[in-house]
Every structure is written in C-alpha cells, then in structure tokens.
Structure 1
Amino acid sequence: MASPILPSLGLGSGLDTASIVKALVDAEKTPKQSQIDRRTSANTASISAVGGLKSALAAYKTALEKLNDSSNPAFLGSVATTSNDKYVKATAGSSAVNGSYSVQVTQLATASRVASQRFADSSSEVSDTGGTLTITQNGVGFDVTIPANATLQQARDAINAQATSKGFTANIVNDGQGSRLVLSSTTMGELSDISTSGIDSLAISPADQITDDGGAGRIGDLAQDAEFVIDGMALTSKSNKVDNAISGMTFELLSKTEALSPVSISVTANTEGLKTSVQSFVDAYNSLVLAINGVSKSVQGSDGTWSTPALSGDSAVRSMLTALRNELVVPATSGSGQLSVLSQLGINTTQGSGLLEFDSTKFTKAIEDQKLGGEVQSLFNGDGGLLDRMTKAMEPFSATGGVLDERSKSLEVAKKGLSLEQSSLDARIKDLEASLTKKYNTMDTLVGQLNAQRDSVVSIFEAMAAQQKNS
C-alpha cells in the first residue's frame, strides 16, 4: 500500500515535511543520477559517432569502387573519339599513343547457330533409350547426357543445365510446320561452327543448311571472322572486340562501314578527364577524413574553450586514420615509369587537418610536359594500386563483424545496461521516498499527539490556577 502524500506543512508538527523528504531523496538520487546522465549522454554521442563513421566509410568505399571499375576506367591517360560510333567504338588504354587512325569494317565476326531436324512439337520424344549427345566446336567435344524417353523440351533443358557454362545455349523454335532444337554459341569466328552427334534425331552437321522438308543443319552462313582495315592494313579477328591490333587500343566493331567511308578515330591526352578523376579521389578522401576528425579531434572555440567530441583519443579511430595516411605515401611498384608518388601529380597532405590539397596547375604540367598521363592509371587502379590498397586498409573497420561493427554492438550493450541502472535507481528512490514519507507521517502524527497531550495538561493547570485564584 502506498504511503499517503505529505502535506506541505505537517498538521501535527508544523514542519515542511514534504520539503524535508524531497531534500533527503534528492541528496540520495542526484549523485547517481548525474553519473547515469553523463554516461548515457556519452554513450548516445558515441553511438551516433560510430554510425556516422560507418556511413562515411561506406560512401568512401563506393567512391573508390566507382573510380576502380575495370569496365569503366576512370584514370585513362588518353581518350579516343570516333567520327561515327554506330560502326566502331574505340577505347584508349594507358599505353595508347596519341594519333589518328582510319578504320574500315568489311565484315563482322559471327557465331555458329544450328538447328536439329523438325519434330511435331516440343513434347515429341527424341530418343527412347537416351544416351550421350556430343557437342563439338573447334575440334573439342563436350558430352551432354540425355535421359531415356526424353522429349525435345527435356533435351533442351538437359543441354542448358550441362553446357551453358561452356558457352552453349539451346532453345526450341517453331518454324510453322513443327519444332526444332536450336543451338547457339558465344564463341565467334571462322571454324567455330557447332556439330552434334551421338543421338541420331539430334545429329547436326554445319556443312548442311536446314531444309524446308525438315532436315537439320546450320542457320544462315557458317561462322566467320571479323574483317577490317586499319590505315590501309587488312586484318581479321575472331571477335568483334579487337584489342591487339594497335597497342593500347581496343576497338568494338558494331557494323559494316559504307564503302569508301572509313571511321576516323583520334587519340589525345585525357588531361581534363584525369583531372576530374583525381579530384574525385581527393574529395572522397577528404570527406572521410573530415568525418573522422569530426568525431575524434578536439576543437578550440573563439572563446578559448575546447569542444571534445565523442571519440576523442579513441584508439580505433586513430588506427583508421593512420591506415589511410600510410597508403598515401607508399610508392608505386608496378611498371618502370617515372610516376611513383602522389606529390608528382600535385597532391599533398595539409598540416594539421590531414586533408589532401590538389594543385591542378602542377597536375597539368605533369601530364602535358612530363607526359605522365599513361602512368596515372597504374598508380591508382588495379591490384596493388592506391585504390585497391586503401579499400583493403579500410576493410578491418568497415566489414561486417569488423572494428566499427563490434564497437556498435558493445555500445548498444552499454546502452541497455544504463537503462537497467536507471530502472533500478528509479525503483530504489521510489521505495526510499515511500519509506521516508511513511516515517515522517508517523512522526508528524506522534508530534500531534504529544502536542495535544501538552495542550491538555496546560489546560488542566490553567484551570487549577484559576480555581485557586477565585477561592
């Protein structure tokens, strides 16, 4: 049963018992409550700081992945432009030499496509005994197991399940009179035609064309090489992607060019593109360092007071910053060029903040005067490049179960512990308040009784004194 609430002044004693109880309760609660409040505030700030670091690391990792994307290189020393990219696309690699080229495409590379004999429909049985269907290409055979009593559809599924990894694809095409099994390949070029054997109903020879009466054979022409002319030199390729015709250049042949209308390709220094990519790296790095400084570096205000952030002096944060900075000064080891450190490109670390500053004027001179453009890609990209090393350096901190992840978990555990401490304190103070209230109520009642007895005794003596006086 809860104790009655004390009036502001005790009815029996006349004392401000409510204030007395409050003072006693506050004296007991305040030191512990202040301690919990300080720890809770620090815990909340730390959780927010670690969350901010994790977000900053994720953004940094995304930026590095974009700059280190091999399919869309960001640090190409040269850039190729084509007069008509409907026919030919060109990409200049780090070793490309500036110049102009003329490309005439006379024939595109094609892949083999063959069809089986005609069946009534996709549910027609291809073999009652099943067996091994051998798919041969470029003199190499690959065996596919066809189950007994397999239908045309089941044969297709068996081929796709077993031969897709080898570049073969099977489908069923209805030619208006029935269904055929059609095989195609990702391999292009002359002599890459597909043949099949082992199961009579699915046997195909690319030497024959499919016939109207349902015979098996190739669809269209035999597979062929790409044929093209670069600066008057006739060349061939097994693929429409040509990466060995000119050093440092990759051509993608898309369509036959019109007679006497070659495509002009120009290769020039990619100074502005490189500058943009380098600036992107500098910005990504600085954003991460600012995030780290924001949660770990004390700052003096204009009034002379210091603001201490949540993770000031934290060893994990110091380790993260050290790991980042260490990679900036590792010299390039790949290649035998002149470019080995970032400072040669006008990238330097500022004192104090640790941010990078980018001198674009020095960078332009390095690219145009010292001809370092072709070496920038090897400095930043690929295995062992700066971006790869920095990504690996941050992995212990950003990975699931890594340093920051574990720190977040420990802070959440601490947060729950503080909540339990607060609940325990609240319960103890509530009990204390109830106990003190009960005691002071009892005291006040007793004092009231004593006062009443006093008043009664005083009244008796006063009455006796008055009686004696009157007598």
Structure 2
Amino acid sequence: MALNNINYDPKTTATNLANSYVAGSQSMIDSRSKVATATKTALTTLSSAMGAFQSTLSSLSLGSKTMSANAATFSSAVGTATATSAAIAGTYSFYVEQLATAGQISYGGLSDTTAAGSGNLSVMLADGSSFQVSLTTADNNMDGTLSPKEIAAAINVAASNNSRITASTMNINGATTLVLTSNLTGAANGASLDTGGVTNAALKAALDDANNQKQVVAAQDAVVWLGAKTTGTQITQASNVFSVIDGVTMTFTKAQAANEAPVTLTVAADSAATNANVQSFVDAYNKMLTTLDGVTDVGDPGKGVGAAVFASDSGLGALRNRLLGTLRTAIGGQTLVNYGISAKRDGTLALDTVKLGKAIAANPTGLDGLFGKASLSNSSGVLGALDKLMGQWTNSASGQLATRKSSVDKEQITLADRQAKVQAQFQNAYNRYLVQFTNLQTLQSKMNNTSSLFTALFSSNNSSS
C-alpha cells in the first residue's frame, strides 16, 4: 500500500517550525516594543498638554497683561480704547478736532516714452529730510525709455527711502499718473518731488507743471482736546493713537463736528474679562491635569481596564503632588481659594465667580500679586512657579520629557537591531527546515512510487495463480 498517510507542505511546515524556533526571542521583542511605543505615545501626549498649559501661562503674562482687567469705553463712536490693570478708574472728556492723515500727492501728464538716463529725482519730506532716486538705472526692461511705473519702482527701492514713501501708478482718463503716499501719518511726513537733478527736459517740465500736481490727501497731525475745544488742553501729534492717560491707549478714528460736545471716556474694572482670564487658567490647568491622570491611570481589573503605561511612575506622581502644592501657595497671605479657585476631589479646579468678585472688591491688587507673571525676565506668583515646574519637564535640552524620549528612542533602536537578528535566525531556520522537508517529501514520493509498484506486482501474481 502507498505511504500516503502523512500529508504536509514543506513551506508551511518550515515556516511553523522556524516561528517556533524564534518564538521566545520574538515574544520578548514584541512585548518590549509594545511598551516602548505606548511610552513614546504617552510622552508625546504629555509634551503637547504641558506645552499648551505653558502657552496659556505665557499668554496671561504678555506685556502689561494681568489677570485682573480694566475696560475703557467712549460714550460715542470716535474710536476705540483699551486699559491695562494699571489704569485708574475714572471718566475723562475729549474733543476730537481732526485726525492725523498720511499725505498723498499725484503727478499727471507723464509720458510712457521718456528717454532713459534722466539723472536723479529727489523726494522731499515735510520734516526737511529727503532721499535721492536714480533715474539713470530705472529702465528695468532695457527698452531705452522710462515709464511712470519704472519711476515708481525706482522710488520704492531707493536706498534711503526706508519705506517712508510708497510710489504707485494709476490710470486716470487714459493717462498714467504717478502717486506718492506717505507710509506714516502726520504733517511732517508729507512728500513732494524736487526735479533739480532731472536731466530730461520733458519729464522735468511735466513734473514741475502745477496743473499736473494734485494734493489728493493733505498730511496733517491729529488734534485732540482734553476737555472742550478751545477751553481745554490741546494735544497735537502725528499719530491717531494716544497714550496720555496712564494705562490707557486710545485710537481715534473719527473727527467730531464743530458743534459737537466732547465725548466721555470711562475707565472701570472689567469683571467679565477678569473672570475670563481666570477661567482660561482653570481650563488650561484642568486639561493638562486630565492628560496627566490619563497616562498614570491605575486601571480597573474588575472592569477589564488595564493600567496606563505610567501607572506606577514615581516621577509623574511627584509632579502631580508638586502641582497641587503650588496651587496652595500663599502669597501676601492669600491663596487661590480666597479668590474662588478650589480643587475638586479629582484634583481639577473649579471657579466661583461670585467669590472671585467679592475678593477683588475687598483687595483689588491681590489677584495680580497672587498670580504674578510667567516669563524669563519676570517670573513670580503662581503663574511663575507653575511655568518653572513645567519647564523642568518640557525643556527641550534637559527636561524630563526629552530625557525619557531619548531613552525610548535608544530602546527602539536596540529592539530594531534585535528584530533584524531574530529575522535572520528565522530565515536561516526556515531555509534549513525547507531543505529538510522538501527532501523528505521527495523521499516519501519515491517510497510511495515503490510501494505502488510492489502492490501492482503482487496483485498481478495473485491473479495468475
């Protein structure tokens, strides 16, 4: 009978045996790779959360920004105003006589075929300064002529312009007009052209012709009165942005009519903005803490929830405790709790705006003193302490996160090397087993053929007898 009771595929058998041969090493690599990947993902999540929290701390410390906020509003639409926490509450009267404007002058009657090489053109500013414009090199397309657009381009790129004047061209009634616009407002920034150095007679005549010159917008200073017009104090300056009141910036956008009464500027505490500032801190802290709790969660075996990768990490446990300790810091005898910011059972914060408002009313400067600033040049209060604590983890060179990421990267490189070695071991074992079982299959086939021959022979003899 045929020896066909054993059926197998050499490739499948070789693969299974080779897998079995490296199973122990592969299992170890898979297990460590899984932990390394989970660790790196958790570190990236932590880095993002801590970075976002630090960004909020910084945004609450920018420039003169403080947690407590003031608002400045006009009684009618003459402009806008902002107030820092340094502004003193009160009311002020202003009359806006005129706004500062940027001068604009146009020059018409220019030809598009002025001969190139026309000397120098001077741009004169009302403050007595000037700068030279070379027309000799202004022929950009090298066609031998000088167009108004090329003159405008030469003015804009002049070395001494320093972006004080912008030149452009307009097409008015089929004729090209050169337009000069001051980039700064104020009477001292008006501009005009001096053609004393222009050698082309036609161009010089066109620019000097008073009929071709139009004052589109006269350059002028802003004139604002503190109090009523004529009886108050006149303030004249080149800009429409005024900072005559400590902590208040006013930007005027509309002049008043001659018979209008002065407008009233009111500076007062802005409780809504203050609440929003404190709430943004609370929200940012809670979001960061929730992420921290997520990567250190101990899990719940009873519910089939496994522990997070940093469940037993003492460093992150210490960080959480230091965060809570920082929030309890007393500055000037006050803590966050005094201003309505308290920790819930899970460690996240909650804000009581009513308590916050009462605390600010009782101690207007206490909130800013407690929170302080989070900046390299001015680190203080709760914001500064939290930013410093976060920096110990987020610093790109020496922070805990960078150190841990580096360690994980090295681990993954090591595992990749080991994986390559295991793969080589698998391939060698596979090749060896494939040869062995291919030979065995060939031998089995030969034996089956021999068995079939004997079976046929003996069957034939039995039939003859």
Alignment size in residue pairs: 425
* Rounded Cα–Cα distance in structure 1 between residues aligned with 2:385 and 2:103: 40
Q: Deviation at 1:68? A: 5.6
SS at match of 2:363: coil
Q: Are residues 315 and 228 of structure 1, via their aligned partners in 2, closer, same or farther at CA, if it must alter by over 3 Å?
A: farther
Q: Letter of the aligned partner of 1:153 in structure 2? A: K
Aligned pairs (5 A) from 1:111-150: 111-116=102-107, 118-122=108-112, 124-125=114-115, 128-131=117-120, 133-148=122-137, 150=139
SS at match of 1:384: coil
* Rounded Cα–Cα distance in structure 1 between residues aligned with 2:11 and 2:172: 99
Q: Deviation at 1:38? A: 0.6
Would you say the 8 A contact 1:133–1:146 is kept in 2?
no
Would you say the 8 A contact 1:298–1:306 is kept in 2?
no
Matched, 1:34 2:33: no
* Rounded Cα–Cα distance in structure 2 between residues aligned with 1:110 and 1:284: 43
Q: Identify unmatched segments of 5+ residues in structure 2.
A: 140-145, 200-206, 452-465
Match of 2:80 in 1: 89
1:273-293, CA deviations, whole angstroms, 9 ceiling, x for partnerless residues?
112122112211332233234
Match of 1:188 in 2: 185
Matched, 1:160 2:160: no
Q: Are residues 275 and 10 of structure 1, via their aligned partners in 2, closer, same or farther at CA, if it must alter by over 3 Å?
A: same
Q: Mean Cα displacement is larger for which, 404-413 or 171-180? A: 404-413
Q: Deviation at 1:88? A: 2.1
Matched, 1:49 2:46: no
* Rounded Cα–Cα distance in structure 1 between residues aligned with 2:353 and 2:164: 48
Q: Deviation at 1:57? A: 4.8
Match of 2:255 in 1: 256
Match of 1:310 in 2: 309
Match of 2:143 in 1: none
TM-score computed with the length of structure 2 as normaliser: 0.69
Would you say the 8 A contact 2:138–2:151 is kept in 1?
no
Q: Deviation at 1:182? A: 2.3
Q: Are residues 211 and 10 of structure 1, via their aligned partners in 2, closer, same or farther at CA, if it must alter by over 3 Å?
A: closer
1:370-412, CA deviations, whole angstroms, 9 ceiling, x for partnerless residues?
012784799347753548993993452799x966876786576
Q: Are residues 315 and 155 of structure 1, via their aligned partners in 2, closer, same or farther at CA, if it must alter by over 3 Å?
A: farther
Q: Are residues 339 and 247 of structure 1, via their aligned partners in 2, closer, same or farther at CA, if it must alter by over 3 Å?
A: farther
Match of 1:455 in 2: none
Q: Are residues 146 and 128 of structure 1, via their aligned partners in 2, closer, same or farther at CA, if it must alter by over 3 Å?
A: closer
The one of 368, 378, 382 equivalent to 1:384 is 378
Q: Identify unmatched segments of 5+ residues in structure 1.
A: 1-5, 12-16, 203-209, 333-337, 452-471
Q: Letter of the aligned partner of 1:384 in structure 2? A: N
* Rounded Cα–Cα distance in structure 2 between residues aligned with 1:374 and 1:103: 32
1:208-246, CA deviations, whole angstroms, 9 ceiling, x for partnerless residues?
xx9985344643435233333447733324245443322
Matched, 1:105 2:101: no
SS at match of 1:368: helix
SS at match of 2:168: strand
Q: Deviation at 1:349? A: 7.0
SS at match of 1:291: helix
Q: Deviation at 1:269? A: 1.3
Q: Are residues 416 and 26 of structure 1, via their aligned partners in 2, closer, same or farther at CA, if it must alter by over 3 Å?
A: closer
Matched, 1:277 2:277: yes
Match of 1:207 in 2: none
Paired-residue identity, %: 21
* Rounded Cα–Cα distance in structure 1 between residues aligned with 2:149 and 2:430: 78
Would you say the 8 A contact 1:94–1:377 is kept in 2?
no
* Rounded Cα–Cα distance in structure 1 between residues aligned with 2:54 and 2:369: 20
Q: Are residues 27 and 88 of structure 1, via their aligned partners in 2, closer, same or farther at CA, if it must alter by over 3 Å?
A: closer
Would you say the 8 A contact 1:105–1:228 is kept in 2?
yes
SS at match of 1:114: strand
Match of 2:202 in 1: none
Q: Deviation at 1:356? A: 4.8
Q: Are residues 402 and 324 of structure 1, via their aligned partners in 2, closer, same or farther at CA, if it must alter by over 3 Å?
A: farther
Q: Deviation at 1:77? A: 2.0
TM-score computed with the length of structure 1 as normaliser: 0.68
Q: Are residues 314 and 299 of structure 1, via their aligned partners in 2, closer, same or farther at CA, if it must alter by over 3 Å?
A: closer
The one of 168, 173, 176 equivalent to 1:171 is 168
Aligned pairs (5 A) from 1:42-81: 42-57=35-50, 59-60=52-53, 63=56, 67=60, 75=67, 77-81=69-73
Q: Are residues 354 and 144 of structure 1, via their aligned partners in 2, closer, same or farther at CA, if it must alter by over 3 Å?
A: farther
Would you say the 8 A contact 1:77–1:373 is kept in 2?
no
Q: Letter of the aligned partner of 1:105 in structure 2? A: V
* Rounded Cα–Cα distance in structure 2 between residues aligned with 1:290 and 1:272: 26
CA RMSD after TM alignment: 5.3
